[in-house]
């Protein structure tokens, strides 16, 4: 009877170790997935920031060069720019 109890204890310990390993693997995969999601979100944010900067620079050059002139509004805006 003592042998049977020891075998059961060993089996239980092995089961606990397997559960710990699977829990650790699951948590690692969740961490990797969340890091990937965060990286994608940052990339999207940077993409729109670059687009906004390019549009702003293009508008600045268009106004400064006088390429667009709608009813003298651009001349008034030019007065505010250095």
In this structure, the number of other CB atoms found within 10 A of the CB of residue 14 comes to: 10
Direct distance between the N- and C-terminal alpha carbons of the chain, in angstroms, rounded to an integer: 94
- Report pLDDT for 48: 92
Spell out the residues 6+ positions from residue 64 whose beta carbon is closer than 8 angstroms to its own: 78, 81
d(C-alpha 78, C-alpha 81), whole Å: 5
Q: Cα–chain-centroid distance for residue 9? A: 46
Tens-binned pLDDT, residue by residue, of the chain (82 aa): 556 666 666 667 777 777 778 888 888 888 999 999 999 999 999 999 999 999 999 888 877 776 666 666 666 666 766 6
């Amino acid at each position: 009877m003592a042998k049977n109890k020891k075998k059961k204890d060993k089996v239980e310990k092995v089961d606990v170790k397997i559960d710990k390993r699977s829990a650790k693997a699951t948590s690692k995969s969740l961490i990797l997935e969340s890091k990937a999601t965060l990286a994608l979100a940052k990339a999207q944010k940077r993409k729109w920031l670059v687009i906004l900067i390019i549009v702003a620079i293009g508008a600045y050059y268009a106004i400064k060069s006088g390429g667009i002139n709608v009813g003298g509004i651009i001349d008034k805006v030019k007065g505010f720019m250095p």
